[in-house]
A and B are shown apart, each in its own frame.
Chain A
Amino acid sequence: MAKSPQELYQEKEKRIQDATELKIPDRIPFVPQDTGLFSKHTGLTWEEAMYDAGKYIAALKKTVIDFDFDAYYPPLIFTSGTFNDMLGFRQLKWAGAKDEDSRTRPNTVFQFVEAGSLGREPMSAEDYDWFLDDPTDYIIRRHWPRLAIKFEPFRNLPPIHDMVAYYVGIGQYWPIFASPEVVSAFEALLASGQEANKWVTGLGPYFEEMGKAGYPPIGLAIGIAPYDYFADFLRGKKGCMLDMYRCPDKLIRAVDKVTPWIIDWALTQARRFSNICKRVFIPIHGASGGFMSEEQHKEFFWPSLRRVIMALIDEGFTPVVETQGIYTDRFETIKNVPKGKVIYMIESDLFKAKEILGDTACLVGGPPSGIMSTGSPGEVKDHCKKIIDVVGKNGGFIMATAVPVITDKPENIRAVAEFTREYSTHK
């Protein structure tokens, strides 16, 4: 008799939970991250996905079900193309953008424009004191104007803490809210709120529908490494690199400052979703490969990330940490977490990861992008066999692809799915 969606859901959830606890599951779960497979598979373009939540989640759902993933990722389009267009949003480039400067090539994945990259003005070293003393003021009056063209007039606002009373600031400063530029910025803010709400509401049914179809999420709440928060969105990678030499104390203070915010933010989401999912997805990348030495990683990156990881574990959540890029030299350091409580996604040397991290954390990985993009299904299966034989041994492993799926051939994804299902039983 065919299993009910509810039974399927329980089976898949248990499979992932067993792997997380370093046990041997009934078979190795298959949980790739879809950053474009949906488009290849269903024909929905990125332009359509960016502007139509309904079509986007329908394509995601069809892909998860057709390839029979054991769990799904949350939709990665967090703000719609309409939202981005109306604000002149600067942190992304995406297919179909109205403004040519924000547009990527047709039907390609959206891409981030980090602070300091492609001419985007980052926080300057001189702004450290302002940020550390009054971060919210800094974010409203300096960061938001850099976030979106329509928010530029927020630069004209007086310090928020000066506007507290009848004759302290209110009388003097309130007329700024009549200035046409500031009014236009607030109008844009209000309109974008409506659009953001529409988008979030549009994505909402996805989680319920996936549950009804028998598929659990790998993580719904999201976290971030405190260093990445500061480097990607405020100071810029290059700025942070220079600060490691010129003002290391300030860099550490800034990262320490944002850490409790990130813990609160991640926990708030995790508690909200806890009846559906106890895992929290944390993509990290600022310490990848040569971006810093291992000493710098231990000084500037890892301690605050570990605090986020531990805070989640303490409340019974499982961090799913995606180590983007080359992380092999960091394995010894990131091993310092409680056994069976963390999932590490590995893009770099999965075999080395098994050696070093295998008895501590569940690993997620798969064939590298070279084979996935250019190889045949047969070659893909050969590679999967090697992975399952070595990395899948004794459990604690989830199959995926080494890097998120973008232009990879759908037939190669199918090869990973099929081979894992058939070969991994009782391995």
Chain B
Amino acid sequence: MADDLVNALADLKEKEVLEIAQKRLDSGDDPLKILSDAREAVAIVGERYHDGTYFIPDLVYSGEILKTVVEMVKPKMTGPAEAEHRGKVIIGTVKGDIHDIGKDIVTFMLDVNGFDVYDLGVDVPADKFVDKLKEVEGKVVALSGFLTLSFDSMKETVQAIKDAGLRDKVKVMVGGGTLDETVREYVGADAFGRFAGDAVSLAKNWLGGK
């Protein structure tokens, strides 16, 4: 049954997923187990996106199915869900840029892969990133930007992290739009990602995990 749910969700068979989840709930299965299976499936979706089998609509759809499963399971849960804690990632679209699609996808991917994600939204000034880093003692920052004006905002943000004396404790990844290695070097980030899955691999490398 567990495999059924994982496979059905990984294959994006919404109706089947909801039927299996309902059956498992009715038969008294542990809601937390159902939830962790669903998360496992969405992580598989993420891997398939990473290897080019799946695309953004598949990620978005799997996220919506997961949301429905969470809503079904929640009323039956007695305690809080024990999520994996792989580490903290602070994310936002940098100052001057209001594009949110890419940032939201990366946030979703990190979240389903067990990271605690602090999403600061769009048009985020450098000091907001620094404040959040200090507040939650974060070790990874993900800066998103679509417009070319975001390159300077990213550079500013990296500089602010340096000025706060945190640069050697914090890893910075950048991504979005037409960004490439030239830009990574210019802004002084540790790495750049072209696809949402890259953020997960980078965060895993930096914070540990398989």
Contact = CB atoms under 8 A, between A and B. Distances in A.
Nearest to B155: A374
Contacts of B181: 370
Interface string A395-408: 00000001100111
Given A369-B178, A373-B151, A408-B148, A245 B61 contact: yes
A135 B25 CA distance: 43
Interface string B44-69: 00000100001111001100100000
A370 B185 CA distance: 10
A290 B178 contact: no
Interface stretch (A160-168, A202-210, A235-243): A235-243
A347 interface: yes
B61 A370 contact: no
B17 interface: no
Contact of A117 (B55, B101, B180): B101
A318 B46 CA distance: 41
A179 to B, nearest CB: 35
Contacts of A242: 57, 60-61, 64
A403 B179 CA distance: 11
Contacts of A241: 56-57, 60-61
A407 B95 CA distance: 14
B49 A371 contact: no
B123 interface: yes
B57 A296 contact: yes
A73 interface: no
| Interface of chain B, main secondary structure | loop
B49 A104 contact: no
Interface residues of A, number: 36
Interface string A311-335: 0000000000000010000000000
B55 A291 contact: yes
Interface in B105-150: 122-123, 147-149
A108 interface: yes
B123 A347 contact: no
B101 A407 contact: no
B148 A290 contact: no
A293 interface: yes
A402 B183 CA distance: 15
A325 B100 CA distance: 15
Given A104-B98, A117-B100, A347 B55 contact: no
Question: Max chain A CB contacts within 10 Å: which of B101, B179, B185?
Answer: B101
A296 B54 CA distance: 11
11 contacts: A109-B147, A118-B122, A241-B56, A242-B64, A245-B14, A246-B14, A291-B55, A292-B57, A370-B181, A370-B182, A375-B182
Interface of A: 93, 104-105, 108-109, 111, 113, 117-118, 237-238, 241-242, 244-246, 290-293, 296, 325, 347, 368-375, 402-403, 406-408
Interface of B: 12, 14, 49, 54-57, 60-61, 64, 95-101, 122-123, 147-149, 151-152, 177-183, 185-186, 195-196
Given A104-B98, A374-B185, A402-B178, 19 more contacts: A93-B98, A104-B123, A111-B99, A242-B64, A290-B49, A290-B56, A291-B55, A291-B56, A369-B177, A369-B183, A372-B148, A373-B151, A373-B186, A374-B151, A375-B182, A403-B148, A403-B178, A406-B147, A407-B149
